[in-house]
Amino acid sequence: MKVFIAGENVLLRPLEMDDLEVFWAWFADREVTKYSMGTWLFPWSKYETELWLKRTIQDRESLTLGVVEKEAGPLLGYAGITSISHINRSSEYYIFLGAKSSWGKGYGTEVTRLMVDYGFASLNLHRIMLTVSAPNIGGVKAYTKAGFQQEGILHQACYRDGAYHDKIIMAILYPEWAANRSP
């Protein structure tokens, strides 16, 4: 396995077409996709999932990496940096942990920290932002632990389970990251 970034408990590696079956199962599970993009509100066919995975792997405008456990090695999800502006030195972060066995173990925080470190140290970014559905308490906690701060709210921007929910805009700036970095 080719490792792109190594953490304490997780490894980040390039996605592969061999990941298709895992993604297909995740995208069909409503509990897994509950707080994700509206794209996955309805189950995808295997063919649609295959097209998405091919496009994601080939996308040169984003850095998308698979998340695997350091010891066991199964795919837990994926994370990435997209909308990279070299002029503004800014980007948007995203993460999707599809393996329910990985939830609540701190992997989301660790992956977020690894990706933020890479964004600032290697991509020379100044600002990394994200949006998260307000009911996604675990996501908000993970992002806060990783250093993100709330910047605003997109009111009733997300429709799930018969109701509108707010989206929280969060970001971390290079000076904040640098000030809290371990030597």
Average pLDDT over every residue of 77-84: 95
Average pLDDT over every residue of 50-71: 93
Position 35 scores a pLDDT of: 66
Contacts of 70 (CB under 8 A, 6+ apart): 6, 7, 8, 9, 10, 11
Residue located via tokens 């990279």: 84
Average pLDDT over every residue of 96-120: 92
DSSP 182: -
Position 149 scores a pLDDT of: 98
User: What is the helix (H) or strand (E) element at residue 59, kind and residue range?
Assistant: none
Position 181 scores a pLDDT of: 80
Q: Which of 3.40.630.30, 3.40.50.2000, 2.40.30.30, 3.90.79.10 is the CATH number of 5-179?
A: 3.40.630.30
- Asked if residues 104 and 141 have their Cβ atoms less than 8 Å apart, the reply is no
Position 74 scores a pLDDT of: 87
Range of lowest pLDDT (38-47, 77-86, 101-110, 133-142) = 38-47
Q: How many percent of the chain have pLDDT more than 90?
A: 69
Q: How high does pLDDT run on average in the chain?
A: 90
- For residue 5, the number of C-alpha atoms closer than 13 Å in the C-beta half-sphere is 24
Q: How confident is the model at residue 29 (pLDDT cuts 50, 70, 90)?
A: confident
Ramachandran angles phi, psi of 66, nearest 5° = -75, 145
Average pLDDT over every residue of 135-159: 94
Average pLDDT over every residue of 148-174: 94
DSSP 53: H
Average pLDDT over every residue of 63-67: 96
User: For residue 175, what are the CA distances in angstroms to 52, 120, 126, 128?
Assistant: 35, 10, 8, 12
Average pLDDT over every residue of 114-140: 95
Average pLDDT over every residue of 164-177: 96
| Amino acid identity at 119 | G
Average pLDDT over every residue of 69-87: 91
pLDDT at residue 6 is higher than 70? yes
Q: Taking Cα atoms as reference points, which of 167, 16, 31, 51 lies closest to residue 97?
A: 31
Q: Taking the domains of the chain in order of start, what are their residue ranges?
A: 5-179
89: phi > 0 → left, psi -120 to 50 → alpha, else beta; which? left
User: What is the helix (H) or strand (E) element at residue 102, kind and residue range?
Assistant: none
User: Alpha helices, DSSP H only, in the chain?
Assistant: 20-27, 30-33, 46-58, 107-121, 137-145, 174-179
Strands 127-133 and 90-97, bridge-based pairing: parallel
